[in-house]
Amino acid sequence: MIPVIIQARMGSSRLPGKVMKEIRNKPLLFYMINQIKSCKNVSKIIIATTNLEEDKKIVSFAKSQNVHVFCGDSKDVLDRFYQCGKKFESKSFVRLSGDSPFIDPNILDECIYKFEQNNFDYLSNTIKKINFEWIENNNGFPTGMAVEVFNFETLTKAWKESTEPTDREHVTEYIFHNPKLFSLFGVKNNENLSNFRLVVDYFEDYVLASKIFTSFPENTLFTMKKLIEFLSVNPELKTINSMYLK
């Protein structure tokens, strides 16, 4: 079992305050935490946010949910994540984005299990190897199901050696762009479901999320299968945010 660190802040440029936008009087972070709490391989949940005044709302919410919280640098996201990992002293961590309220606990558990049963430095379901180069790829998963697992030693190396602004902003790009330095693995889905979008990054994503959550009883546990089945029998909903499919 290893900790999950959710990266969350209020200052999103595309949808400001998205992680605290409410559905049924509960913020999106509540739904994400509820999903993760059902995981078998997660030891604790940590929210890594910034030390900006606007993010105190996230801190207060985390405390109300008895979830660990860490506040760090608002611009150097890699440093924020490294300092968070250092504080909680685990050999390995999972990194999730706070805009993924439908994260499937089964996918999360599977990624953690595969990581712990092997000798990988970094494992994700969002990278794919093509011609000896690792690139970002959904690997057949819907957008919004991204999971990254890596050990603290790997994170430390990236923190020490990353100098490019994009590497400091995106935390793990230095890792999968340097396959000679790290042992990498990409988890693939058995079916290509990359034409489904279940992340909340734009207003239209939020509208779709609202439609989904209010169509089910409160505290419903969502799996990828349940979500795809629901959207398949309600195809008009899938078009709400289809303009953002890659």
* Angle (CA) 96 68 114, round 5°: 40
Which pLDDT belongs to residue 181? 95
- pLDDT tens for each residue of 80-103: 999 999 999 899 999 999 999 999
- pLDDT tens for each residue of 154-193: 999 999 999 888 889 889 999 999 999 999 999 999 999 9
Structural domains of the chain sorted by starting position, each given as residue range(s) with its CATH number in brackets: 2-244 (3.90.550.10)
Which pLDDT belongs to residue 38? 94
Which pLDDT belongs to residue 232? 95
Which pLDDT belongs to residue 245? 87
Which pLDDT belongs to residue 32? 97
Regions of the chain where pLDDT drops below 50: none
Q: What residues contact residue 94 under an 8 Å CB cut-off, 6+ apart?
A: 2, 3, 4, 5, 42, 108, 111, 112, 147, 148, 149
Which pLDDT belongs to residue 35? 97
d(CA 157, CA 215): 45
d(CA 146, CA 127): 10
Which pLDDT belongs to residue 132? 82
